[in-house]
Amino acid sequence: MRIIAIANQKGGCGKTTTAVNLSACLAQLKKNVLLIDLDPQGHATLGLNVKPQELNKTMYNVLTPNAENKARLDEIIMPISDNLDLAPANIMLSAIEQELSGKPEREAKLMQAISLMATNKTYDYVIIDCSPSLGLLTFNGLRVSGELIAPVDTGFYSLHGISRLLETVNLIEKQLNCKIQVKALVTMFDCRTNFSREVKEEICKYFSGKVYETLIHNNVKLKEASSYGLPVVSYNKRCRGSEDYTMLAKEVVAQVKAKKGTTKEVEARDTSQEKIENTPVQPNEQESPAKKSAVFTFYGAEAQKVEIAGDFNNWVSSTQGQMENIENGVWARVVHLDPGKYQYKFVVDGKWIIDPKNPKIERDLSGNINSLIEIE
């Protein structure tokens, strides 16, 4: 059994979409899959057409310490389709953090629940949809998982805060003396923009290449499918979203399973898995890259053309300074810079201006005022 958490505390980066569609595509590949909804928002539950508000028993009952409400994981599992089961959640789950506070082993409740699952069905994959926070619930999800898929969208601030997720993973690894195999998944990729490509390169660098080859493109069918409570492969088999998630499922299946110990095995009724030592895989073992990436942004809804010129491109905006209108008048460009100080200006429809959002300015040798960026 491979247990894979889908986590990233950035909201709306595609965790639930990935959890639901990866699960459905793995099921289509004839793998037995259990999708655990570990988010009080209950979006994975809704995404499989189960009404969270109508449920009597959910993941809350599995994780609660209150004996009268307690249920085993297998008691709440709902069959969804051939090979795909769901452990649903609803808003009740938000009470768990408080109920478990101060309780011993509170971070291991999900692990215990999976271990104690009495079922005649053995799952090939358990996929855990985590909430956009790094609280106790996500900690429980990560702690039981041998693998973590971190969906990272290719929009603004996509890598913002990701270091905290990786720190949490490191903490768990140290506590348990095991390794969690971390891999990023690029989501909402828009192949028409250079910005998406630049951010994708950033993600690859940040995760030292531990990024799925499969790209999840922006595809409106994914949104539509979830609004109908269907995995995209059941909604529209031929769309890009179906192709992408089918490819991802194949990549996940093919992933170096043979690499000894990279996947944590959890046997039913066996809680000794905490001792299993896995092959060291440093999730964030990146060499410190010489260059840092600076994202320059400019808001100009009316502008036709925005460029950036500065010390880093010899003040020639036309060669390497074109900025891209990525959405609603937001212009952006990623520039890779060595540590140091750089003066720059935007060129908006031919007019040179300082960066209105950057209070740091400096005069050049001719006395002109420029914006200043410092890379540490």
Residues near ligand ATP (CB under 6 A) are: 11-17, 39, 41, 43, 132, 187-188, 216, 218-220, 222-223, 226
d(CA 81, CA 73): 18
d(CA 104, CA 125): 28
Q: By CB under 5 A, what part of segment 7-26 binds Mg ion?
A: 15-16
Closer Cβ to Mg ion, 16 or 246, answer by number:
16
Our CA dihedral for 125, 131, 135, 140, rounded to 10 degrees, sits at -10
Shortest Å distance, C-beta 219 to Mg ion? 17
Residue 17 contact among ligand ATP, Mg ion, none, beta carbon within 5 to 8 Å by kind: ligand ATP
Closer Cβ to ligand ATP, 111 or 137, answer by number:
137
Question: 9 is written with which tokens?
Answer: 């505390």
Q: Based on the shown chain and the rule CB under 5 A, indicate whether residue 200 belongs to the binding site for Mg ion.
A: no
Q: Based on the shown chain and the rule CB under 5 A, indicate whether residue 138 belongs to the binding site for Mg ion.
A: no
Closer Cβ to ligand ATP, 218 or 263, answer by number:
218
Residue 171 contact among ligand ATP, Mg ion, none, beta carbon within 5 to 8 Å by kind: none
Residue 219 contact among Mg ion, ligand ATP, none, beta carbon within 5 to 8 Å by kind: ligand ATP
Q: By CB under 5 A, what part of segment 32-51 binds Mg ion?
A: 43
Residue 13 contact among ligand ATP, Mg ion, none, beta carbon within 5 to 8 Å by kind: ligand ATP
Closest by Cα among 325, 57, 264, 243 to 142: 264
Closer Cβ to ligand ATP, 41 or 140, answer by number:
41
Shortest Å distance, C-beta 102 to ligand ATP? 27
Residue 187 contact among ligand ATP, Mg ion, none, beta carbon within 5 to 8 Å by kind: ligand ATP
Closer Cβ to Mg ion, 96 or 176, answer by number:
96
Residue 168 contact among ligand ATP, Mg ion, none, beta carbon within 5 to 8 Å by kind: none
Closest by Cα among 177, 181, 178, 96 to 131: 96
d(CA 128, CA 7): 8
Shortest Å distance, C-beta 16 to ligand ATP? 3
Q: Based on the shown chain and the rule CB under 5 A, indicate whether residue 90 belongs to the binding site for Mg ion.
A: no
298 Rama class: left (phi>0) / alpha (psi -120 to 50) / beta? beta
Residue 12 contact among Mg ion, ligand ATP, none, beta carbon within 5 to 8 Å by kind: ligand ATP
Shortest Å distance, C-beta 72 to ligand ATP? 26
Which residues are near Mg ion by CB under 5 A?
Answer: 15-16, 43
